[in-house]
Amino acid sequence: MNLSEKALGISQSPTLAINAKSKQMKKEGHDIVGFGSGEPDFDTPEYIKRAAVEALNEGFTKYTPVGGIPELRSAAADYIAESTGVSYDANQVMISNGAKQCLFNALYCLLNPGDKVLIPSPYWVTYPELVKLCGGEPIFVPTNEKEGFKLKADILEPFIDDKVKALIINSPNNPTGSVYPKEDLEEIAQLAIKNNITVISDEIYEKLLYDGEKHTSIVSINDDMFDRTIVINGVSKSYSMTGWRIGFIAGPENIVKAMTNLQSHTTSNPNSIAQKASLVALTNPLKDETVKEMVDAFLNRRNYMLNRIKNIPALSCSVPKGAFYIALNISGTFGKKLNGKEIYDSTSFADQLLENYKVSVVPGIAFGSEEIVRISYATSMQNIEKGFDRIEEFISLLK
């Protein structure tokens, strides 16, 4: 069959091959330790599940308004107002099938062919693909480990020209766990205003913060930023609801209207039952406790991992302040060999670790960096201990 240029332009996820290999090995009975997870390992809380059961029993099983039921839009508006410090009306908010569809909607409604979108690197694997799908050109702006992978205005500025339409900010960040401070966001906002750039602020990990870190949304910097920022959030990561597929977008009314029109022809409303459950996730008095329990567990695991990494020669990392990932620098292993096979990039590292020590990690090339692999602490302490014992032995045998 002849496929469209658009379809042919979508790259296969570089994580797929190693994921497939790790799944196959598991199936064959190997005891694999998986550090590849992109979702909390906790179950969705009971009080949220109960709301879904009630919705089902009440027959809440029909189409809803395309942009979500009014109660959920209003709760999402309050939720985003609380997390950003900026107030939104319900008509400036819409509900989509996960933060991923929010991003697609936003990019589709913003980009004309050839528009450039600035993406700080390392980046979440989906951003460049969505930009290309929407006719834009992804432009990668490097951040570095020494500065905790934070985006700096002086590094960003040379990448700006009159084809740049948008900038994607993701703080807390996947895969680095970096959290952008207010001062840096103020400087970035100045550049956005001066150069008429729209900012898409992906704040999906905003509740998962450590070491007293505070979340700042770039939309809160000043009124000008309100007019040029699209905020994206959702229930997936904060309430362990990745499978429910509910995300929300807040932004100026004209783009919310355009995105609602788009969604009306692509997917219609997000799942009615999941909307009812998400309403409870955002409004139940237990919600802060739910987040705290997860954050406490993630913090423990992160600290354990950081301690182990410190004691393994050839490995290093910057301390992640949010989300549940560590960008592990593996460049100290390049040029070394195990059983005659050399490690020379993130894929050869991940391959050898999986093949010989049954630990799966995500090669950094998926995120635009060969120097790192991403390890997730959204897995049990028992797995983490076992995985690090294996990684330590693997590194000690490299010659």
Ligand X SMILES: Cc1ncc(COP(=O)(O)O)c(C=O)c1O
CA-closest candidate to residue 140, choices 132, 128, 152, 129: 128
Which regions of the chain does DSSP assign to beta strands (E)? 33-34, 93-96, 116-121, 137-142, 164-170, 198-202, 229-234, 247-250, 325-329, 337-338, 341-342, 359-360, 362-363, 372-376
With binding defined as CB under 6 A, does residue 14 bind ligand X?
A: no
CA 339-36-32 angle, to 5 degrees, is 55
With binding defined as CB under 6 A, does residue 99 bind ligand X?
A: yes
* Distance in angstroms (rounded) separating the CA atoms of residues 166 and 230: 10
Near ligand X by CB under 6 A: residue from 15, 236, 240, 379 = 236
DSSP string, 346-394: HHHHHHHHHHHH-EE-EEGGGGT-TTEEEEE--S-HHHHHHHHHHHHHH
Near ligand X by CB under 6 A: residue from 14, 67, 68, 98 = 98
With binding defined as CB under 6 A, does residue 331 bind ligand X?
A: no
* Distance in angstroms (rounded) separating the CA atoms of residues 184 and 187: 5
Segment interacting with ligand X (CB under 6 A) among 92-100, 305-313, 346-354, 369-377? 92-100
Name the minimum Å distance from CB 204 to ligand X: 4
With binding defined as CB under 6 A, does residue 75 bind ligand X?
A: no
Segment interacting with ligand X (CB under 6 A) among 98-106, 288-296, 311-319, 345-353? 98-106
Q: Which residues, numbered 237-296, are part of the site for ligand X (CB under 6 A)?
A: 242, 247
Q: Are 231 and 203 in contact (CB under 8 A)?
A: yes
Near ligand X by CB under 6 A: residue from 41, 145, 184, 202 = 202
**Residue 272's CB: how many other CB atoms inside 10 A?**
18
* Distance in angstroms (rounded) separating the CA atoms of residues 134 and 132: 5
With binding defined as CB under 6 A, does residue 201 bind ligand X?
A: no
Residue 170 or residue 352: which is nearer to ligand X going by CB? 170
**With contacts defined by CB under 6 A, how many residues of the chain interact with ligand X?**
13
Residue 64 or residue 376: which is nearer to ligand X going by CB? 376
Near ligand X by CB under 6 A: residue from 174, 176, 263, 369 = 174
DSSP letter at 119 equals E
With binding defined as CB under 6 A, does residue 100 bind ligand X?
A: yes
Q: What is the C-alpha end-to-end distance of the chain, expressed in Å?
A: 48
Near ligand X by CB under 6 A: residue from 35, 79, 88, 124 = 124
With binding defined as CB under 6 A, does residue 330 bind ligand X?
A: no
Segment interacting with ligand X (CB under 6 A) among 20-28, 234-242, 257-265, 297-305? 234-242
Beta bridge partners of 373: 328, 363
Write the CA distances from 299 to 296, 325, 373, 386, 398, integer angstroms. Answer: 5, 11, 20, 18, 30
Residue 98 or residue 368: which is nearer to ligand X going by CB? 98
With binding defined as CB under 6 A, does residue 170 bind ligand X?
A: yes
Tokens of 264: 């009306």
With binding defined as CB under 6 A, does residue 143 bind ligand X?
A: no
DSSP letter at 177 equals -
Q: Are 385 and 45 in contact (CB under 8 A)?
A: no
Residue 184 or residue 202: which is nearer to ligand X going by CB? 202
Residue 124 or residue 210: which is nearer to ligand X going by CB? 124
CA-closest candidate to residue 322, choices 357, 291, 350, 364: 291
Residue 22 or residue 352: which is nearer to ligand X going by CB? 22
Segment interacting with ligand X (CB under 6 A) among 3-11, 97-105, 341-349, 368-376? 97-105
With binding defined as CB under 6 A, does residue 234 bind ligand X?
A: yes
With binding defined as CB under 6 A, does residue 370 bind ligand X?
A: no
* Distance in angstroms (rounded) separating the CA atoms of residues 280 and 276: 7
Three-class secondary structure of residue 226 per DSSP: helix
Segment interacting with ligand X (CB under 6 A) among 71-79, 95-103, 249-257, 271-279? 95-103
Residue 145 or residue 202: which is nearer to ligand X going by CB? 202
Q: Which residues bind ligand X (CB under 6 A)?
A: 38, 98-100, 124, 170, 174, 202, 204, 234, 236, 242, 247
